[in-house]
Amino acid sequence: MATTPRRRAARIRVGRMRDGWYSARNDSVAVEEPMEVRLEVPGEGGAREHPVSVTMRTPGDDFELAAGFLFTEGVVTDPHALGDVRYCRDVDPQEYNVVTASLREPGAFDPASLTRNFYVTSSCGVCGKASLESVEVMGCRAVPDGTLAVADADVRALPQRLRSAQRVFDRTGGLHAAGLFDASGSIALVREDVGRHNAVDKVVGSLVLSAGLPGSERGLVVSGRSSFEILQKAAMAGFPMVVAVGAPSSLAVTFARRFNMTLVGFAKSDGYNIYSGPERVTGLGSETE
């Protein structure tokens, strides 16, 4: 299931204004292209393809993105049910912008999940309580206690460790990142994308394709803020802890508390905020206002 390398950064001509001087120069920008995800479901009359979603993404790790999206959005709730993942060969010249994932058995897919997926990820007219209940319908459960503990010093070091692994960001300055870390704070996997959610789906998808779920002994670190969708995807993968460089939303905090997850925000070398599950961070002081 190897993917074909694609451009993740493009060279363009830009005008640059610095200290009152204008000059023209070449620069790099992050590539953004659409990717359609299709699901191939076997049946008595032959396999049938279901269009699932179109997302704007940075090319690369496309099979992970498709697998992660299908799982974290509850379209396919059993990660072992996914079989072959491939580029679609009948859509030239968009071959590498259409990915088809096949199911091993037809019973692993409920067509109603496509409607539910839209409902869960839409913020239009959907209250927080309904969103949380919909995630439970998808099969997401609270994370068990005692699954992960990370030292305070390692939590503070995670943002820089993530940043050091952002290769395309170094060239473009325009990508989000998500990383997978263990109890020692070591980051084993980093994925970049123009979309925060896509970066997370690529990380989760790598575990789906390698039979590495649930991720109960891993944590997720993200370069931006933590929203409801980020927490949803982390919980579907079984991650007990989410560390974000940016701020959380109110629904992300509510989600973390309801699903027994540790949520850290505003993480940097000199400190951070813990919004839920402080017991998973070791070495904390005891000052309380």
| CB 260, CB 148: distance < 8 Å | no
207, two tokens = 């575990």
228-237 helix and 128-137 helix, angle to the nearest 10 degrees: 20
Residue 124 among the catalytic residues:
yes
Question: Which is the catalytic residue, given 88, 124, 127, 140?
Answer: 124
Angle between helices 250-258 and 128-137 (to 10 degrees): 40
How far is 88 from 22, CA to CA, in rounded Å? 45
Integer CA distances (angstroms), 261 to 74, 189, 234, 274, 275, in order: 19, 21, 9, 11, 10
| Rounded Cα distance, 167 and 43, in Å | 43
114 CB-near residues (< 8 Å, 6+ apart): 50, 52, 75
Which of 87, 80, 134, 140 is closest to 107 using CA atoms? Answer: 80
Cβ-contact 248, 265 below 8 angstroms:
yes
Residue written as token pair 């508390």: 257
For the annotated catalytic residues, the residue numbers are 124
